[in-house]
Amino acid sequence: MCGHWSAFYNRAMFSAITQQSPPDDLLLQHLNPEQRAAVTLPAEHALILAGAGSGKTRVLTTRIAWLLQTGQVTPGGVLAVTFTNKAAKEMMTRLSSMLPVNVRGMWIGTFHGLCNRFLRAHFKLANLPQSFQILDTQDQLSSIKRLYKQFGIDDERFPPKQMQWFIGGCKEDGLRPNMVEVRDEETRKKVEIYQLYEDQCQREGVVDFGELMLRSYEVLRDNDPIREHYQRRFRHILIDEFQDTNKLQYAWIKMLAGTGAHSTADDASFNPTGCVLAVGDDDQSIYAFRGARVGNMADFVREFKVKHQIKLEENFRSGSNILDSANELISYNTKRLGKNLRTAQGPGEPVRVFEATSDFAEAQWMVEEMRQLVREGMERKEVAVLYRSNAQSRVIETALFNAGIPYKVYGGLRFFERAEIKNALAYLRLLENPRDDTSFLRAVNFPPRGIGLRSLEQLQDVARASGCSLSDAVSGLGGKAGANIGAFLAGIDVLREQTSGMKLSEIVERVLEHSGLIQHYKADREGADRVENLEELVNAAESFVSLENFGRDAAALPVDEQGHALTQSPASQGLDLSQPVLDEPVPDLETGETQSPLAAFLSHAALEAGDNQAQAGQDAIQLMTVHSSKGLEFDCVFITGIEEGLFPHENSMSDRDGLEEERRLMYVAITRARKRLYLSHSQTRMLHGQTRYNPKSRFFDELPEAALKWITPKHQGFRADGATYSGANSQGYTGARGQFDINYSKFAAAPAPIQKAAPAHGLRAGMKVFHAKFGEGTVQTLEGTGDDARAQINFPRHGVKWLALSVAKLTPVP
DNA sequence: CGCGATCTGCTTTTT
DNA sequence: GCAGATCGCG
């Protein structure tokens, strides 16, 4: 997208709006036939099966651009939904580089972001205060724990975490407490707690993530004029990552598209049906554990009577060795819509496979390999290390750290989740909404001001007795406690007055000073980082304001031939300015009241937790779980710890669906690599404080031999089953490629003995055994032979253990 | 109230 | 094996 390109479109856009469309081949010229077909689909429901690396985002954005350019829809008539803020941002950036359109005026965002926007605009119908706050996962948990204290709920019998999961699950299924089917006493009690939680949230004027979705769904469902308004408005609905949608999200889409049970079309000339373009890949569905339903894809085809299905199967990312591996692996899954990736590139490099003797040796080997890669000119940020679970990163981090190689770990605490930031936000939220008890409790004694648990318990008693918020309860609390807390609240009130009318960043600055947070962290020897983060919060507030202005920037407007910004009239751009804009002050549709910038900033903080640890622009090795690698690509990828029990994970191995999801996870991991892919596993691994002996993953058996190249030193080249590696895999690393002539032998184990004899220990899976320390247990899995024989045994009292049979003294129990 | 000692539990994660 | 939560004492 160079200068003349956008200059052309600035003019083209204008003619597009007024007369019929200019040649659209500029938009379409770099697309392959499948992609072009997808972009230019008629205005009807359609499903696009987009394989990994098939240019999905590009198709989606070009589709929107094409619809706009050909005058089939106005910017206000587009609803585009993504799962992450990152994806939404990317879509907006790409779109504005294709067309001179004010993307911030369009409904492009995450499900939750769009629901937030919707609820802000219709807060009265939603029965929410205008300045309702959003609970993130942490807030939600502490809210539940508070509830437990208040009502004396047994947290042993109903662990708060499990309750949180239960509530989230109900909301994802669209179920209010009275709708949950109660079959046993346990569920009855859980539903009761769910109801109490709902009451508490409503009283405090807060909503959790699930509530954002559910509440906006209900507002649409129960208010005919509102629903019809949006149905009429959104002519084109585009959903990214459709395989990850849950039941409620699907119902929400259906509602907006006008095909739900509540659609009304009594006037024959009025067609309320927006057309839905769902883009997804069933093979990359890896979020079933949090409620995603791949089945939504099939349901969509059936319920929307989808006539157009397009498969994007050309992969522009990797060579055929990598793709063949991915294709072969995923072919072992049974429930598939069916899709096979192909590439116009050649075979590329073989997939390198390495067997390490320990997790430590595996990390060492990677370090050596990376050094070599960097020496050959590979950028570090183009190298990713993927693992199944976060616990695996430690040993890799240690190795990289000791080797002095810069690296970046994804997945830690994110900016707005850090304790000091949450503390500051609690004050800001109290300014907006004093009823927010979660924030009240967080701020009231931090920094410490002598308000102890005793006082707060008294306060909570008063609040419960009179059914009011904690801050309202202070007036009913006498004594020293009352005076202390009263002083705190008075301080908040003063702050609220002082900051009214201030610029957002000034408010934040003032709050940091007045709350004593800055002083507190400055006094702390270890507080330097936290002070820095708080200062960063001021910066975030500053740039948030300028981001709001972005939409009104001259740069985003069409420019005439002399380079003068042309005024964008709502009519010519099809922009409906009466509609709220994401993260901007939202006018109430009835009264025209607008939300304060602070409120918008707080929503932003809750909905977009920020980058993990943006070590700005440093060229570093990328470490992350397979899950967080989805949607990314790298020149070189290491997939580590590919062992039974780890990958596939033991908790997923019991049922078929779980195993298939693990396989899809592996598929996602493999397809991240552009040029080079390494797969590794280790004979031993430290996990949960004990050494485990994991056999290599079954996934190795599901990869095409011809695409692989075993680079483990030769003398290790024996499989656990005793067979030697054949063909291309037996050559080992030595001499095969000069550039990889690294001596791995220092990491190699003693040669593994070839054992073909039947196991002599006489144990079988399912047997009951007795262990002196762990008591009675059941044998789950048996591994290896002779001195290496080990068994996975489930001890009801001590959990699942791996025991070496040559060491552990086990007696069979009849 | 704050700090150290002890206990627990443990895939994956975005919003 | 380690982090995070909880407990109990000064």
Q: In what order do the strands lie in the sheet with A810-813?
A: A799-804, A790-795, A775-783, A768-771, A810-813
Between A414 and A583, residue with greater pLDDT: A414
Paired residues of A45 in beta bridges: none
Residue A735 is labelled as binding a ligand: no
- Would you give the distance in Å from CA A581 to the centre of its chain? 23
Chain B bases having any atom below 7 Å from a protein CB: 1-2, 9-15
> A276, A253 in Cβ contact below 8 A?
yes
Residue A52 is labelled as binding a ligand: yes
| pLDDT digit string, tens, across residues A692-715 | 899 999 999 999 999 999 988 654
**Residues A185 and A77 placed together within one structural domain of the fold:** no
Tokens representing residue A677 in the block: 């892919």
**Residues A228 and A242 placed together within one structural domain of the fold:** yes
Q: Is A284 a catalytic residue?
A: yes
> A60, A93 in Cβ contact below 8 A?
no
The radius of gyration computed from the CA coordinates of chain A, to the nearest angstrom, equals: 29
Q: What is the CATH number of the domain that holds A435?
A: 1.10.486.10
Return left, alpha or beta for A152; rule: phi > 0 is left, psi -120 to 50 is alpha, else beta. Answer: left
Q: Is A672 a catalytic residue?
A: yes
| pLDDT digit string, tens, across residues A1-49 | 333 333 333 434 434 443 444 456 788 888 999 999 999 999 999 999 9
Three-class secondary structure of residue A716 per DSSP: helix
**Residues A651 and A679 placed together within one structural domain of the fold:** yes
Residue range A72-89: average pLDDT?
93
Residue A273 is labelled as binding a ligand: no
Tokens representing residue A629 in the block: 């690698």
**Residues A120 and A72 placed together within one structural domain of the fold:** yes
In a domain, A569, yes or no: no
Catalytic residue among A133, A164, A284, A499: A284
Between A720 and A22, residue with greater pLDDT: A22
Q: How many angstroms is C1' of B10 away from CA of A291?
A: 22
Paired residues of A485 in beta bridges: none
Q: How many angstroms is C1' of B10 away from CA of A254?
A: 39
| Position A363 confidence tier, pLDDT thresholds 50, 70, 90 | very high
Closest nucleotide (C1' vs CA) to A452 is B1
What amino acid is encoded at A479 in this protein? G
Domain that holds residue A635: 323-414+613-710
Catalytic residue among A208, A228, A240, A420: A240
**Residues A90 and A223 placed together within one structural domain of the fold:** yes
| Position A800 confidence tier, pLDDT thresholds 50, 70, 90 | low
Residue range A153-174: average pLDDT?
89
Residue in this structure with the two tokens 């799962």, named with its chain if needed:
A83
Catalytic residue among A57, A195, A345, A781: A57
Q: Is A56 a catalytic residue?
A: yes
Using the predicted structure, report yes or no on whether residue A154 has a pLDDT greater than 90.
no
Catalytic residue among A211, A241, A436, A662: A241
**Residues A108 and A236 placed together within one structural domain of the fold:** yes
In a domain, A692, yes or no: yes
Please measure the distance between the N-terminal and C-terminal CA atoms of chain A and give it in whole angstroms.
Answer: 74
Q: Is A716 a catalytic residue?
A: no
Pick the last residue of a domain from A497, A516, A548: A548
Chain C bases having any atom below 7 Å from a protein CB: 1-2, 6
Residue A51 is labelled as binding a ligand: yes
pLDDT at A430: 92
> pTM for the complete prediction?
0.78
Pick the last residue of a domain from A548, A563, A586: A548
* Count of domains forming chain A: 5
In a domain, A572, yes or no: no
Judging by beta carbons within 10 Å of its beta carbon (0-12, 13-18, 19+), is residue A152 exposed, middle or buried?
exposed
Return left, alpha or beta for A735; rule: phi > 0 is left, psi -120 to 50 is alpha, else beta. Answer: left
Q: Is A57 a catalytic residue?
A: yes
Q: How many angstroms is C1' of C10 away from CA of A161?
A: 33
Pick the last residue of a domain from A548, A564, A584: A548
Residue range A275-279: average pLDDT?
96
Query: Which is nearest to A608 in space by CA: A427, A408, A415, A413?
Result: A415
Distance CA A220, CA A231 (A): 10
Q: How many angstroms is C1' of B8 away from CA of A289?
A: 24
> A322, A348 in Cβ contact below 8 A?
yes
Distance CA A364, CA A522 (A): 40
